[in-house]
A and B are shown apart, each in its own frame.
Chain A
Amino acid sequence: MFRTNLALREQSDAAIIAVFQAGDRDAFRYLVERYKERVRNVIYSIFNDKTLVDDLAQEVFIRVYKALPTFRNESAFYTWVYRIAVNRCRDEIRSRKLRKIFSLHSLTENPDETLPQEFAEAPEDNSARELVALGLQAIPEKFRLPIVLKDIEGMSYEEIAGVLGCEIGTVKSRLSRGRALLRKKLEPIWKTE
């Protein structure tokens, strides 16, 4: 019952997907085990909020499971998973934004517009790393996602274009705009150095 199929676990994505598409739904587990941490971390990078990582990651894999029977290996599986994860994150961002607008008792400020107070003051107990992560939350989603995929996930322009569904030129310009915005948000840090 708890034994794992070592042979399948070590196979390529395409082989596992073929087994899954042939009807062995248990093969999905090996894809999840392989990519769960990457998906969790990309969600964490986008939101900087540990509390919603697992919930969103589960939703991403449920979407993957539903769509996998029709996956045609036209793009790399991990790019495809990232695309689903990023789309789910976009939905969440839009939903949060709207919920904030509609909320009758909104308790949080809009991260896209303002930085938290502690960020502006740059207290000593917050490491620069945390502040940069917070700063990233303060820039709009369309500039934030390319930064996460490039600077944190280390993807190429082509891969980012595939994940975000846009042209490479758009990726470049959003990346440069995003980095400039982030630099501006982080001005208090640069000034203190």
Chain B
Amino acid sequence: MENRIEKHLDEYLSSYMDGALSELDKRRVEEYLEEHPEAQAILVQMKQQSTLLRSKPPLVPNDWFWTNLSLRMDRERAVRREVLPFSRRYIPHAVAATIAVLALMSVVLYRQRDNLQQYVAAKRAAVEHVYKEGILKGSIFPFFTKVDKNEALQFAVYGTLPMDEKTGTSLRVDERSGAGYRIEVAKSKVPRARSITVAQLCKAVGATMQQEATVDSLLAVACEKIQSSVLVGDNNAIAIHAGLPTLTRALMSNIASTLGEPQRVRFRQFLDQCNAPYTIMAAGAPPAHVSSDRLLTEMGRIPPTDRFFVIDPDSAMVSDVHINIDSLRSMMFAASLQMEKARERVHSAIREFAVRNRQRAPRPYSVTEDEDRISIQVSAAEPVMPDESFFFRLVPRISGAGEGGRLPFVTPDAGMSRSQIVSQRRAGDQQSSAPARIAVPANRGPVSLDSLLNDVRKSLPQRESRKKVPEDAIEL
């Protein structure tokens, strides 16, 4: 039994501390503790940490929690209501109308399909141009906007692409393990691999000028593939092309195919020196010579799928979706144009509304500004909550009318020294002891705010202007 306790000491002590052991087990643990002071020390530490956790003072209660929560719920309800610009009872009618419109559109589109295809084909070239220039407006854009040939080579050799240098996050792919393939976005914990360049590779294998040109072209194709294989959305969702792992294999295979047999041996040695996870081996009889055109054509076709894995960091959801990258480009371009037009329409509508509204009715507020102040005066016609809504009413306690017959704004004592603040307060207290007053409203009819203020002013003693007391006159 002692062995068992020793083996599962943490579990036994934890249950012992919680009083969750049977009588028999409890006795055995107590016997064990008597014989093992180190276990006693562990138990004491466990109890201490538990006590410390429990003794942490609770948060200061939030008295505004319900108010804030109800405001947020109101906001969410308002947003949901805005989704439907009409009453819910019209939903069946709206659905029927939508179906009818869709059916009509389908018929029209079907009849016009040839024209549409021509139209799409004509636009595609323009869209490609826009995409290549990186002006893909909207919410999805390529994660790797610029991949150079050295990075593409490193991707082929190591299967990793650095995504964020600062956090060490990288994209890793592995297709060659024989058990399917793997795509990972992770913080790399392994030591950084040796950085390699195309020049180093060519030098290591002793590539001819023509071979160098072929490798260079292969890597150029790979760069483009990588750029269109990893997309990122506004919400940080990342879409990774399912065929990306194949690219590494294709690239390695095609680089090896450009080389002669002695050079392939050197290529293997190069991979060994780089500590690359994989090396090359001929699948059948080593190819004598493969034309660069054929290799480039093969590269262009890889990866031949439109499957993407979309990883949403907020919901931690991974979706397996099919995205036609060409149609996506077209859609994003069309959407960006539509957005631009809609934004313009909204702006012009707002401007038009503002102009018309200004002509029709006087504004219920006026704005005045001078050097250090901007003031918005809202007219009394604006709805305000009547005094009867409150249990208490606030009345002024400072005598003397402010600007325009209104009480002045009072600003905090910021910027003064503590002694200045105290001295001013004391001076004020000596001159007038008028306390802050909160009056329960009398049972009388509605009273205007101005007349109420006048009543209060009359009832207060007139103060003399405050004299500033020298700072050193008051001992703190």
Distance of A173 from chain B, by nearest CB (Å): 6
The residues of B that contact A100 with a CB separation of less than 8 Å are 167, 187
CB of A138 within 8 Å of the partner chain: no
Take A2-B391, A29-B66, A132-B52 as given contacts and tell me if A157 and B20 are in contact as well, using a CB distance cutoff of 8 Å: yes
- Listed A/B pairs (17) with beta-carbon separation below 8 Å: A32-B66, A36-B65, A40-B59, A62-B73, A65-B73, A99-B313, A99-B314, A101-B186, A104-B163, A104-B164, A104-B166, A128-B52, A150-B18, A151-B50, A176-B11, A179-B49, A183-B49
The residues of A that contact B314 with a CB separation of less than 8 Å are 95, 98-99
The residues of B that contact A62 with a CB separation of less than 8 Å are 69, 72-73, 76
- Count of B interface residues, CB-CB < 8 Å: 46
A1-51 contacts to B (CB < 8 Å): 1-2, 29, 32-33, 36-37, 40-41, 44-45, 50
Give A135's nearest chain B residue, CB to CB: B49
CB of B139 within 8 Å of the partner chain: no
The residues of B that contact A106 with a CB separation of less than 8 Å are 164, 166-167
The residues of B that contact A132 with a CB separation of less than 8 Å are 49, 52-53, 56
> Once the chains are docked, how many angstroms separate the CA of A109 from the CA of B50?
26
Distance of A169 from chain B, by nearest CB (Å): 10
The residues of A that contact B62 with a CB separation of less than 8 Å are 36-37, 40, 54
The residues of A that contact B11 with a CB separation of less than 8 Å are 172-173, 176
CB-CB contacts of B153-168 with A at 8 A, as 1s and 0s? 0000000000110110
Checking B56, B66, B238 against A102 with a beta-carbon cut-off of 8 angstroms, the contacting residue is B238
The residues of B that contact A65 with a CB separation of less than 8 Å are 73
The residues of B that contact A61 with a CB separation of less than 8 Å are 69
Enumerate chain B interface residues (CB-CB to A < 8 A).
Answer: 10-11, 13-15, 18, 20, 42, 45-46, 49-50, 52-56, 58-59, 61-62, 65-66, 68-70, 72-73, 76, 163-164, 166-167, 169, 185-187, 236, 238, 311, 313-316, 389, 391
Give A127's nearest chain B residue, CB to CB: B52
Give B186's nearest chain A residue, CB to CB: A101
- Count of A interface residues, CB-CB < 8 Å: 55
> Once the chains are docked, how many angstroms separate the CA of A178 from the CA of B54?
16
| Contact status B316-A94, CB under 8 Å | yes
A128-157 contacts to B (CB < 8 Å): 128-129, 132-133, 135-136, 147, 150-152, 154, 157
Checking B14, B55, B167, B389 against A129 with a beta-carbon cut-off of 8 angstroms, the contacting residue is B55
| Contact status A183-B45, CB under 8 Å | yes
CB of A175 within 8 Å of the partner chain: yes
> Once the chains are docked, how many angstroms separate the CA of A94 from the CA of B315?
8
| Contact status A57-B65, CB under 8 Å | yes
The residues of B that contact A176 with a CB separation of less than 8 Å are 10-11, 13-15
Nearest first, the 7 A-B pairs at minimum CB distance are A176-B14, A98-B313, A180-B10, A176-B11, A132-B52, A106-B167, A94-B316
Distance of A150 from chain B, by nearest CB (Å): 7
Take A58-B69, A129-B52, A129-B55 as given contacts and tell me if A102 and B316 are in contact as well, using a CB distance cutoff of 8 Å: no
Enumerate chain A interface residues (CB-CB to B < 8 A).
Answer: 1-2, 29, 32-33, 36-37, 40-41, 44-45, 50, 53-54, 57-58, 61-62, 65, 91, 94-95, 98-106, 110, 128-129, 132-133, 135-136, 147, 150-152, 154, 157, 172-173, 175-177, 179-180, 182-183, 186, 190
| Contact status B52-A102, CB under 8 Å | no
| Contact status A103-B316, CB under 8 Å | no
Distance of A139 from chain B, by nearest CB (Å): 11
> Once the chains are docked, how many angstroms separate the CA of A152 from the CA of B236?
35
Take A176-B11, A179-B10 as given contacts and tell me if A98 and B316 are in contact as well, using a CB distance cutoff of 8 Å: yes
| Contact status A172-B166, CB under 8 Å | no
| Contact status A182-B49, CB under 8 Å | yes
The residues of A that contact B187 with a CB separation of less than 8 Å are 100-101, 110
| Contact status B58-A37, CB under 8 Å | yes
| Contact status B164-A41, CB under 8 Å | no
| Contact status B164-A36, CB under 8 Å | no
Given known contacts A53-B59, A128-B52, A179-B10, what 5 new A-B pairs fall within 8 Å (CB)? Answer: A40-B65, A95-B314, A102-B169, A175-B18, A179-B14
Take A152-B56, A176-B14 as given contacts and tell me if A1 and B316 are in contact as well, using a CB distance cutoff of 8 Å: no
| Contact status A1-B18, CB under 8 Å | no
> Once the chains are docked, how many angstroms separate the CA of A3 from the CA of B316?
44
Give A190's nearest chain B residue, CB to CB: B45
Give A40's nearest chain B residue, CB to CB: B59
The residues of A that contact B65 with a CB separation of less than 8 Å are 32, 36, 40, 54, 57-58
Give A61's nearest chain B residue, CB to CB: B69
Give A131's nearest chain B residue, CB to CB: B52
